[in-house]
Amino acid sequence: MDEAAFLDSYDPTAFERPSVAVDLILTSVVDGAPAVLLHRRDAPPYRDSWALPGGFVGIGESIDDAARRVLAAKARMDGAYLEQLYTFGAVERDPRMRIVSVAYFALLPAERFAAAPGLTLARVAADGDGVATAWVDGAAVPLAFDHGAMLDLAIRRLRGKLDWSPVAFALLPERFTLRALQDVHEAILGRALNKPAFRRRLIESGRIAATGERETGASFRPAELYRYTGGR
């Protein structure tokens, strides 16, 4: 059977097919910096490199369900904000076999960002173009496969969406101070923002509303708590 006939066939045994996987960029802002969960590979290929958690898509589950399964199994992050990022399909991206991978990012507040066994919290630093480097224990770590490109794209997408989507709020608890909101924006953007201008812009946008409550635990002038209104 020639290639054209292969590709027109609906017999799943008639031609070699790529496999489908999902990879997850599990992201939070921890101590003022973006962070991502990685595991260290203990076998070839890319032995000793760090990799994003992922898994194959089962025949009976949607790609979104596969992403949620990996999220539950590898990161214990129930209810994370999950969004499809991009599909990576270069022929040589995995030397073992042909795998097309759908990358998702999952966002959670730091308080709920608990790594499952085997996963390590890596800090992420990105330059002005959004080229991201992951750091473990102060050392830059190389990522396996095309996972570096996935991480770069996740950071660029987060930057691009900060002002018109709920992503910043997915990185915060339900009630947050304006200082915490600005910290999240600065961590994702990788630069300092003017405090009065930031606060004015966010409040005037209608995207946040004061709750009338104040933070607890602060010893001096507890700050007012805000919530996301759901607006854009």
Instruction: Determine the residue type at 217.
Output: G
Site string for a copy of itself, 27-66 (x = CB under 8 A): ----------------------------xxxxxxxxxx-x
Rounded Cα–Cα distance for residues 130 and 165 (Å): 18
Contact present, 104 and 85 (Cβ < 8 Å): yes
How near is the Cβ of 130 to a copy of itself at its closest, in Å?
14
Query: Hey, what are 116's tokens?
Result: 């499952």
| Exposed/middle/buried for residue 191 (C-beta within 10 Å: 0-12, 13-18, 19+) | exposed
How near is the Cβ of 199 to a copy of itself at its closest, in Å?
26
Q: Closest CB to a copy of itself among 12 and 128?
A: 12
Nearest C-alpha neighbor of 180 from the set 160, 206, 164, 198: 198
Site size toward a copy of itself (CB under 8 A) is 34
Paired strand residues for 36 = 27, 122
128 binds a copy of itself (CB under 8 A): no
Q: Which stretch binds a copy of itself (CB under 8 A): 5-13, 151-159, 203-211, 222-230?
A: 5-13
Q: Which of residues 95-114 bind a copy of itself (CB under 8 A)?
A: 96-98, 100, 102
5 binds a copy of itself (CB under 8 A): no
Q: Closest CB to a copy of itself among 64 and 215?
A: 64
Query: What angle (nearest 5°) sits at the alpha carbon of residue 84, between those of residues 83 and 86?
Result: 145
Considering only 32, 44, 47, 87, the residue that binds a copy of itself (CB under 8 A) is 87
6 binds a copy of itself (CB under 8 A): yes
Q: Closest CB to a copy of itself among 19 and 205?
A: 19
Query: Hey, what are 231's tokens?
Result: 């607006």
Angle 195-205/178-189 helices, nearest 10 degrees? 110
User: Residue by residue, what is the 3-state secondary structure of 125-173?
Assistant: EECCCCCEEEEECCEEECECCCHHHHHHHHHHHHHHHCCCCCHHHHCCC
72 binds a copy of itself (CB under 8 A): no
86 binds a copy of itself (CB under 8 A): yes
Query: What angle (nearest 5°) sits at the alpha carbon of residue 68, between those of residues 186 and 55?
Result: 100
CA 212 to chain centre: 31
How near is the Cβ of 97 to a copy of itself at its closest, in Å?
6
Q: Closest CB to a copy of itself among 66 and 172?
A: 66
Rounded Cα–Cα distance for residues 38 and 138 (Å): 15
Considering only 72, 90, 209, 223, the residue that binds a copy of itself (CB under 8 A) is 90
Residues found near a copy of itself in the complex (CB under 8 A): 3, 6-8, 10, 12, 15-20, 55-64, 66, 84, 86-87, 89-91, 96-98, 100, 102
